[in-house]
């Protein structure tokens, strides 16, 4: 009798201290294995998607510039100069391009507002850096972000200042005059001030120059040089900065000057 035989086997299993095996427990384990397999497949698909997205970001950014034909030694020298101003990813080698049409780029993305032809564009997986090799300054830094349109965009982020005894300064353009801060950067005494970032202010209607002394640095001479008011708090809406001081250029003194850089 089959039923009597099954009952006898269950009684023997219980006597041996083993619970009887049922079809439902086996099906449950199979279901768990299927779920784990699906989770693994989703993880692999997501990693592949992120890899392809990053490649697309770099391709789009590089297409907007001229690919720099630099030797490995020249790239290493370039990275050495840039690393004096900002911490670079040591495990990643960037794509390096040269900006050849800054005016067009500035119309497309505000990230390039203060860029000029000849600047180097360093593209990492998560951020892009514009570097001016002639004046040895960081023009702008921003994360590489995929928008809904699939196109990358870059926004401003704080840059870590170099600790060398000089006052670290961030320059912000508070006017509608494109490239204003770039034209003022050479006026800063390199022995006293380390320009760690050049970017755009939150507003473009500042009426006067402002020096924001964030860390109690000696900025009196700087304020006198540019006829600026000194405050110790950033104006409302302005992003935080890691610099010792932030100089915001206003339109009263410099806004009417004609500059395209």
Tell me if residue 137 falls in helix, strand or coil.
strand
Tell me if residue 241 falls in helix, strand or coil.
coil
Question: What is the structure's pLDDT at 14?
Answer: 47
Q: Centre a 10 Å sphere on the Cβ of residue 81 and count the other Cβ atoms it contains.
A: 12
Question: What is the structure's pLDDT at 256?
Answer: 43
* Residue spans per domain, the chain: 65-145, 158-261
Alpha helices in the chain (DSSP H): 2-15, 23-63, 72-82, 102-108, 180-184, 220-226, 251-254
Q: Largest alpha-carbon pair distance within the chain?
A: 107
Single pTM value for the model: 0.47
- We find that the CATH architecture of domain 65-145 is Roll (3.10)
The tens-digit pLDDT sequence of the chain (261 residues) is 555 555 555 545 545 555 555 555 667 777 777 887 778 777 666 666 655 555 554 444 444 444 445 678 888 899 999 988 888 888 888 888 888 788 878 877 778 888 888 899 888 887 889 999 998 888 988 876 544 434 444 444 333 344 457 888 999 999 998 888 888 888 888 888 888 888 899 999 999 999 999 989 889 999 999 999 999 999 999 999 888 999 999 986 654 443 333
> Is there a contact between 115 and 99 (Cβ–Cβ < 8 Å)?
yes
């Amino acid at each position: 009798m089959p039923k009597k035989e099954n009952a006898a086997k269950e009684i023997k299993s219980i006597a041996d201290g083993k619970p009887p095996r049922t079809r439902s427990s086996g099906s449950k384990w199979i279901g768990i294995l299927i779920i784990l397999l699906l989770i693994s497949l989703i993880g692999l698909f997501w990693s592949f998607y992120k890899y392809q997205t990053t490649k697309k970001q770099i391709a789009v950014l590089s297409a907007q510039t001229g690919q720099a034909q630099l030797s490995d030694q020249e790239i290493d020298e370039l990275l050495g100069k840039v690393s004096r101003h900002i911490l670079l990813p040591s495990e990643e080698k960037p794509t390096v391009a040269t900006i050849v049409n800054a005016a067009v780029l500035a119309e497309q993305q505000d990230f390039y507002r203060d860029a000029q032809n000849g600047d180097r564009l360093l593209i990492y997986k998560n951020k892009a850096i514009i570097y001016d090799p002639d004046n040895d300054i960081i023009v702008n830094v921003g994360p590489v972000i995929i928008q809904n349109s699939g196109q990358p965009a870059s926004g401003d982020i704080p840059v870590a200042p170099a600790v060398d005894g000089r006052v670290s300064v961030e320059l912000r353009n508070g006017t509608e005059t494109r490239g204003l801060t770039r034209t003022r950067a050479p006026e800063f005494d390199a022995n006293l001030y380390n320009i760690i970032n050049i970017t755009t202010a939150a507003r473009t209607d500042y009426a006067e120059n402002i020096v924001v002394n964030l860390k109690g640095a000696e900025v009196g001479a700087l304020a006198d040089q540019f006829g600026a008011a000194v405050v110790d708090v950033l104006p409302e809406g302005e992003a935080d900065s890691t610099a010792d001081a932030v100089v915001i250029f206003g339109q009263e003194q410099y806004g009417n000057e004609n500059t395209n850089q």
